[in-house]
Structure 1
Amino acid sequence: MRHQDNPDIQLWLREAKFLQKAAQSDSLSQSLPVLRRLLESKVLTNITLPELKRQSAMIQRKHLLHMLAAENGERCWADLKKIVSAAPQGTILPYSIEQLDAGYLVHWFSSISEAQGYTEQHGGKVVKVGSQAAVLPE
């Protein structure tokens, strides 16, 4: 199946498009979280957050796809795309898609290991969000 025909790949591409719009938004509450993620994932280096905000027009879709790959433990978008394409449909989704059904009962943790510890006692599903994690109810 070509990636154009894969609905999961299309979700990742839409996520990158949404994140690009947010990163370039005049709203600080929309742009800063995405800009911080770009810097934290080391997609863009040798630039400060204020400078990146001023130059947000330079952010391309490829930067967001690379960031999403890095946040999911992959070297680049091509590697993540291969993994998503090979996985059963609906098993590897952007965290924003997974959160849609969760509502407001999402618990946030500063690390994946903390989130996994929580799920061992209370149940739920761990979703990686950069270096942080959320636990969604099952």
Structure 2
Amino acid sequence: MRHQNNLDLQLWLREAKFLQKAAQSDSLAQSLPVLRRLLESKIFTDITLPELKRHSASIQRKHLLHMLAAENGWSCWADFKKIVSAAPKGTLLPYSTERLDAGYLVQWFSSVSEAQRYTEQHSGKVVKVGSQAAVVPEQ
């Protein structure tokens, strides 16, 4: 059962790689959202956003994996990796997988509960992204 979710685990690793490239990008539009998530997840402390941007080349893949774990309620990547491996295939996927399936803009909310209230009236699928949430329209 552990190896059946290897594909799911690979999606999380690919997400971390994508986020690392975005964090290190010269484009502020690409880098700032990731850098803010790193700070919000307390991966880096005692550093300001402008300082983190200046030192973004030092951001490693392990930092992004730890951030993804923290955003999903786990204290470290090793623990989260075990959860992903044990989860039923396809049930615990990174946000980018959902975003690619959507094919168009999604609605953003500052909390999961706000997103859930929205779906009660308008339908859609709630996708947790850190402390925020997105609603992907049902297809």
TM-score range, shorter chain: over 0.9
Structure 2 CA distance for partners of 1:105 and 1:50, relative to 1, 3 Å: closer
Instruction: Give unpaired runs (5+ residues) of structure 1.
Output: none
Normalised to the residue count of structure 2, the TM-score between the two structures is 0.93
TM-score, normalised to structure 1, is: 0.93
Query: Which runs of at least 4 in structure 1 moved beyond 6 Å after TM superposition?
Result: none
The Cα of 1:123 is off from its aligned counterpart by 1.8
d(CA) in 1 for partners of 2:101, 2:63 = 27
Q: How does 1:49-128 map to 2 (within 5 A)?
A: 49-128=49-128
Task: Determine helix, strand or coil for the equivalent of 2:133.
Answer: strand
1:13 and 2:25 aligned = no
**What CA deviation, in whole Å up to 9, does each residue of 1:67-111 have, x standing for no partner?**
001111111111111111111111111001111111224111111
**How many Å apart are 1:122 and its aligned residue?**
2.1
Any gaps of 5 or more consecutive residues in structure 2?
A: none
Residue identity over aligned pairs, in percent, reads: 85
CA distance, structure 1, for counterparts of residue 2 and residue 115 of structure 2: 34
What letter corresponds to residue 137 of structure 2 in structure 1? P
Aligned partner of 1:24: which letter?
Q
Shift of the alpha carbon at 1:132?
Answer: 0.9
What's the Cα RMSD here? 1.6
SS of residue matched to 1:100: helix
Provide the rounded CA distance (Å) in 2 between the counterparts of 1:124 and 1:94: 17
What's the CA shift string for 1:28-81, capped at 9, x where partnerless?
Answer: 111111000000111111000000000111111110000001111111111111
Is residue 36 from structure 1 mapped to residue 36 from structure 2 by the alignment? yes
